[in-house]
Structure 1
């Protein structure tokens, strides 16, 4: 794996983009509901002029709906994608990313629900690709498995039974591998550069999609940006980290626990 290691903090998006010229695949992480993160992604995407964009938020079928004509019309593109029914944050935060690279071919890496359910019992069988090439056929190191289970428990407000935690990690591994698979397909079809829009957890270079992509395509150059809030870094390792102001948000665990009757 050939990574670009940025040796500077991200003071401004154009500085980071200049370092990324010539990189094959760039992962741009985000905290999904922070509009500042999406604004930075859009700015970097415009600077990089990728030939392909891979979105965690889109299925492969949705991605086929993105046409040059629709990219010029935010409302029409939102309707064609059925974004309002997707559960993702408001489309107005994501649309500038599409608009920043109107020439790019769009790929969707969202894992269908039936595949996610199947991954809980057999992640290899659930993957629509060469599982061994992307490392899915190998167990995680014990310390990484434990750390990932701990993060899954925290993400689910410490409400999951312990026996569910390995299953949730398997689903995350499937999502990492699908992002990597689509990034590889996008590079093979277009010659790159490819920009991947995804959450920080999938963009991290110590165990996320970049690791799966490096396993399947070791000759590609890969770089990843993680985005934190205020002075807090995102979990994981990235080539560089950017910070933006935090936003006001409700406690997600309050709603989660209420829905479970706790």
Structure 2
């Protein structure tokens, strides 16, 4: 049987023919069995767009990258109505995510959706950096392609991207582990989404960083190979300066381009 990894590697590394940049207005009409809504974590506009999409989709379940299963289990209808109490119950600030206030519109839009947490324990993610992924992920690892290494060219490409994302400040010996951790988290998110879809029949929404929304090798790619009959839709969100030229093709079904949110120099900590 063709492995998931082999199937993923047969995909082209460009967007499907129908893919295009869309406006936020298009979020009012998104449909799918599973919809992956990407974000840049600290961009408030991205979360407003996600909330708009959730309100339109009216999903049976919403899976959050930011929540553990234990955190998700704490959420009640009453807590969803109280921003401050929900923030405190989740321990959001302690988890290191950007200000809860910019995420709260998503929670307000959930309606009766069942909430799932896809975050893996930090010690488990760290172990994925140094331990063979099948040992960390468990008996389903082969279904998610984790029993096979990436081809050398792709591995080197991803290591270079990880280094760039960390201001070219990481020791080279850490780069393979960074790639492995991202693979592990993609597979873990896909597994939780599949469980939510099985439990509720969909539609299911995944709220996650745009890197996890890539259709070439991340969560949507895994889901499409595992369940070819399900309609999987990936919406990425990226930033560009207002006067920049139109964005080139992106690795999503469709994508939204927003101005960058003001932020401190992310490389300052490495200097």
Question: Considering the TM-score relative to the shorter chain, is it more than 0.5?
Answer: yes
Match of 1:181 in 2: 191
Aligned: 1:137 with 2:151: no
Shift, 1:141, TM fit: 2.6
Aligned to 1:66, what secondary structure does the other structure show?
A: coil
> Equivalents in 1 of 2:139, 2:22: separation in Å?
35
Pairing 1:19-38 to 2, within 5 Å after superposition: 20-21=30-31, 23-38=32-47
Q: Taking structure 2 as the reference length, what is the TM-score of the superposition?
A: 0.87
> Equivalents in 2 of 1:219, 1:195: separation in Å?
17
Cα offsets for 1:192-251 (capped at 9, x unmatched) = 001100001111111111122223333221111111223575995000111112122111
> Equivalents in 2 of 1:126, 1:141: separation in Å?
21
Runs ≥4 residues deviating over 4 A: 3-8, 231-236
Match of 2:75 in 1: 66
224-233 vs 177-186, which moves further: 224-233
Aligned to 2:106, what secondary structure does the other structure show?
A: helix
Shift, 1:179, TM fit: 0.8
Shift, 1:5, TM fit: 7.0
Pairing 1:169-208 to 2, within 5 Å after superposition: 169-208=179-218
Q: Residue 68 and residue 4 in structure 1: after superposition, are their counterparts in 2 closer, same or farther (change >3 A)?
A: farther
CA contact (8 A) 2:72 2:117 kept: yes
Q: Residue 166 and residue 196 in structure 1: after superposition, are their counterparts in 2 closer, same or farther (change >3 A)?
A: same
Match of 2:127 in 1: 118
Shift, 1:142, TM fit: 2.6
CA contact (8 A) 1:52 1:192 kept: yes
Cα offsets for 1:3-40 (capped at 9, x unmatched) = 99755531233x2442x32x111111111111011110
> Equivalents in 2 of 1:240, 1:129: separation in Å?
34
> Equivalents in 1 of 2:67, 2:222: separation in Å?
19
Match of 1:90 in 2: 99
Of 53, 61, 80, which aligns to 1:52? 61
Aligned to 2:134, what secondary structure does the other structure show?
A: helix
> Equivalents in 1 of 2:145, 2:177: separation in Å?
17
Shift, 1:75, TM fit: 1.1
Aligned: 1:238 with 2:252: yes
Give the number of aligned pairs: 253
Aligned: 1:9 with 2:9: no
Aligned: 1:102 with 2:114: no
Cα offsets for 1:59-112 (capped at 9, x unmatched) = 111111111111111111111101111100011111111111221111111121
Aligned to 1:111, what secondary structure does the other structure show?
A: coil
Q: Unmatched 5+ residue regions in structure 1? A: none
Q: Unmatched 5+ residue regions in structure 2? A: 1-6, 8-14
